[in-house]
């Protein structure tokens, strides 16, 4: 399976348009030792011809143009992008769907709760269904196996398993609507399986790590994991107010409850952080946080990486 990392930052990107934190300021000043990043987006393929997107970032149009494998090849209107698997209804993960509204048939796989938020509460997504053979919404159970398939079926599908990682819907979902939905359908983790049986785990938002998640990750060959925040109070220290990482649904990288320590026992997978927020000090490759991450055997995803499992 080929995995293309088209973007690796958290929502807002790096630098973020209204952010003057140490990282964003130094990057703009040309003194930062590290790389800019656009918002996290991953594409996967088992045959290099049919591609599936894991979520749809707000930067999706530019990400497709920057990736020749995702350009049209055959007819006047054509795309190797055959489907999108949504792991949540967060704006970072769904806004790019609006850049795919040009009457191209493809599938969207998501839980019924995520589908209802998009289809029933946000009429702008009706643009994906202006004609009968446009987008096919496919409901998936939040603890199930499925095969990502092109529409109509062609090329190699990709077997995946999905499982619930959290129970919080995005802030734009009303309280009444949240109460009518199944909380376990709010946030998914994904394990995609290559044609040779190797596994890639994708989870850009992880609220907590428990034993059952550890067990799943131990079976993975490649792990793309939530690297949003370094510390729990990162945003509060930077802005003087705001939410903790935990309150926003992200386990921090550092600290006794952080992912570096919680996942330190994983032996098998190659471990890569994605969805890194612009405030995260590990983006600074001259700093101690970056050194600590690398010394622990982790890598920081960079835009444009192509990986094979
Ligand atoms: Zn910033």
Residue 167 has pLDDT above 90, yes or no: yes
Q: What is the DSSP string of 264-278?
A: TT--SSEEEEESB-T
75-108 pLDDT tens trace:
999 999 999 999 999 999 999 999 999 999 999 9
Instruction: Please tell me the distance between residue 307's alpha carbon and the centre of ligand 1 in angstroms.
Output: 28
pLDDT average, residue stretch 216-240: 95
Does 152 sit behind a cis peptide bond, omega within 30 degrees of 0 on the bond before it? yes
Instruction: Please tell me the distance between residue 251's alpha carbon and the centre of ligand 1 in angstroms.
Output: 19
153-166 pLDDT tens trace:
888 899 999 999 99
Weakest mean pLDDT among 116-120, 153-157, 213-217: 153-157
Instruction: Please tell me the distance between residue 278's alpha carbon and the centre of ligand 1 in angstroms.
Output: 5
Rounded to the nearest integer, the mean pLDDT of the chain is 97
Query: For 128, how many CA atoms within 13 A lie in the half-sphere containing its CB?
Result: 24
Cα–Cα nearest to 251, from 228, 283, 217:
228
Residue 18 has pLDDT above 90, yes or no: yes
21-44 pLDDT tens trace:
999 999 999 999 999 999 999 999
Count of beta carbons in the 10 Å neighbourhood of residue 88: 26
pLDDT average, residue stretch 176-190: 97
Share of the chain above pLDDT 70, in %: 100
Instruction: Please tell me the distance between residue 248's alpha carbon and the centre of ligand 1 in angstroms.
Output: 17
pLDDT average, residue stretch 217-235: 97
pLDDT average, residue stretch 264-293: 97
Instruction: Please tell me the distance between residue 216's alpha carbon and the centre of ligand 1 in angstroms.
Output: 33
Does 297 sit behind a cis peptide bond, omega within 30 degrees of 0 on the bond before it? no
Instruction: Please tell me the distance between residue 254's alpha carbon and the centre of ligand 1 in angstroms.
Output: 19
Structure tokens at 285: 């490759």
């Amino acid at each position: 399976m080929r995995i293309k990392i088209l973007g690796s930052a958290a929502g807002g990107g790096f630098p973020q348009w209204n952010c003057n934190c140490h990282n964003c300021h130094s990057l703009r000043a040309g003194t930062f030792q590290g790389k800019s990043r656009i918002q996290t987006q991953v594409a996967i393929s088992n045959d290099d011809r049919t591609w599936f997107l894991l979520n749809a970032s707000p930067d999706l149009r530019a990400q497709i143009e920057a990736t020749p494998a995702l350009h049209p090849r055959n007819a006047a209107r054509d795309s190797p992008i055959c489907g999108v698997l949504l792991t949540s209804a967060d704006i970072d993960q769904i806004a790019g769907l609006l850049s795919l509204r040009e009457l191209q048939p493809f599938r969207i796989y998501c839980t019924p709760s995520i589908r209802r938020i998009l289809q029933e509460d946000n009429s702008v997504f009706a643009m994906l269904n202006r004609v009968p053979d446009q987008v096919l919404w496919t409901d998936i159970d939040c603890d199930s196996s499925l095969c990502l398939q092109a529409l109509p079926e062609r090329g190699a599908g990709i077997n995946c398993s999905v499982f619930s990682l959290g129970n919080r819907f995005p802030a734009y979902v009303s309280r009444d609507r949240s109460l009518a939905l199944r909380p376990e359908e709010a946030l998914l983790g994904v394990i995609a399986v290559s044609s040779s049986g190797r596994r890639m785990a994708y989870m850009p938002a992880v609220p907590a790590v428990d034993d059952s998640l550890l067990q799943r990750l131990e079976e993975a060959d490649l792990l793309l994991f939530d690297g949003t925040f370094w510390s729990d109070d990162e945003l509060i220290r930077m802005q003087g107010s705001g939410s903790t990482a935990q309150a926003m649904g992200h386990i921090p990288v550092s600290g006794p409850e952080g992912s570096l320590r919680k996942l330190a026992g994983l032996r098998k997978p190659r471990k890569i952080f994605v969805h890194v927020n612009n405030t995260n000090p590990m983006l600074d490759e001259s700093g101690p946080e970056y050194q600590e991450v690398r010394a622990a055997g982790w890598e920081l995803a960079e835009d444009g990486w192509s990986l094979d499992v």
